[in-house]
Amino acid sequence: MKIINCPINGPRPVSEFFYWGQMRVMPDPVASSDDEWADYVFNCNGAPGVKREWWCHTPSNTWFIIERDTEKDQIVRTYLYGEEE
């Protein structure tokens, strides 16, 4: 993986991008139990597979989502948050 397709700026070299981890959905902090909250704070899906991740194109500060195969290091698709369809 050397080129990433930024949804705003098009294909750019990977050195311009910053990885910010897997996309996670926050549970309701009031309604969730202590165990559910600890699970959200610490645990993650560490096994390989196609994952949705937050990335940032740093020169333009564009935050977006990459769907990436973390075993083969291949990008499935990239899109802005909320615009996946």
Residues that bind other proteins (CB under 8 A): 15, 18-19, 21-22, 34-35, 38-39, 42-48, 51, 53, 70-73
In angstroms, give the least distance from the CB of 10 to other proteins: 20
Q: Are 55 and 18 in contact (CB under 8 A)?
A: yes
Please provide residue 18's backbone torsions phi and psi, each rounded to the nearest 5 degrees: -130, 135
Q: Which is nearer to other proteins, 34 or 85 (CB)?
A: 34
Q: Which is nearer to other proteins, 9 or 45 (CB)?
A: 45
Q: Which is nearer to other proteins, 8 or 21 (CB)?
A: 21
C-alpha to C-alpha distance for 84 and 28, rounded to whole angstroms = 24
Please name the helix (run of DSSP H) or strand (run of DSSP E) that holds residue 39, with its range, or none.
Answer: helix 34-42
